[in-house]
Amino acid sequence: MNDILPKKPSRIQTRNRRLILDAALEVFSRDGYGGATLDAIAKGAGLSKPNLLYYFDGKTEIYVTLLSQLLETWLDPLIELDAKGDPVEELLNYVRHKLDMALELPLESKLFAGEILQGAPRITAHLTDDLKPLFDRKCKVIQTWIDAGHLAQIDPAHLIFSIWSTTQHYADFGAQTSVLLGTEDPAKRAHAHLEQMFRKLLQPVNQ
């Protein structure tokens, strides 16, 4: 009947695929796609290399699986941006959420950044199919808020870029910030700073 039988994965399968993806995240985010090796991933997962390849078809498949899963988590907070909420608070909440994710999931942020840096050769489809439509939708929501006078006159697209860049900076450039801030915890003032910055930017002038 059904050519494609999904066949729920066994306990061993679930566990090992998880082990592999966890190890792969560490290796890919640290060494980049080109610098990562199956041996390093296998070692990290506590499996042999051929055993790895029993669960995934190859290096690329592991990498793409990781990116796809990650992209979903990554877009979640943007999806939640609610047209019916208070504009300034909705956006500030998005900033907070995004910063928390960067601070808590730096490896994921770095993996994504690394892929985009190299021209997104392996996830361009995801970007155009999933990210772009969502992005366009949310830009329109923001534009509506602006037109209603509830937000300052801002370019919605570039506003989103600024939110992404400032928040992800604390993950992607963590090696730099930790050198520059010394013992000080970056997270400490990051929240306050971004809240201050975006509140000033977003607050409409003649309200």
Total interface residues for a second copy by CB under 8 A: 53
Instruction: Indicate the residue among 51 and 178 with the shorter CB distance to DNA.
Output: 51
Q: Which amino acid is at 205?
A: V
In the complex, the smallest distance separating the C-beta of residue 26 from DNA, rounded to whole angstroms, is 15
Closest residue by Cα to residue 108 from 162, 157, 70: 70
Integer-rounded Cα radius of gyration of the chain: 20
Instruction: Indicate the residue among 55 and 81 with the shorter CB distance to a second copy.
Output: 81
How many alpha carbons fall within 13 Å on the CB side of residue 81? 23
Tell whether residue 118 is a contact of DNA (CB under 7 A).
no
In the complex, the smallest distance separating the C-beta of residue 105 from DNA, rounded to whole angstroms, is 24
Instruction: Indicate the residue among 33 and 135 with the shorter CB distance to DNA.
Output: 33
Site residues for a second copy, window 110-129 (CB under 8 A)? 110, 113-114, 116-120, 124, 127-128
- With CB under 5 to 8 Å by kind, the binding choice for 60 among a second copy, DNA, none is DNA
Tell whether residue 150 is a contact of a second copy (CB under 8 A).
no
Burial of 132 (0-12, 13-18, 19+ CB in 10 A): exposed
Q: How far is CA 145 from the centre of its chain?
A: 25
How many alpha carbons fall within 13 Å on the CB side of residue 12? 5
Q: Binding string, 23-52, against DNA, x = CB under 7 A?
A: -------------xxxx-------xxxxx-
Site residues for a second copy, window 173-192 (CB under 8 A)? 173, 175-177, 179-181, 189-190, 192
Contact 157, 139 (CB under 8 A): yes
Contact 90, 28 (CB under 8 A): no
Tell whether residue 54 is a contact of DNA (CB under 7 A).
yes
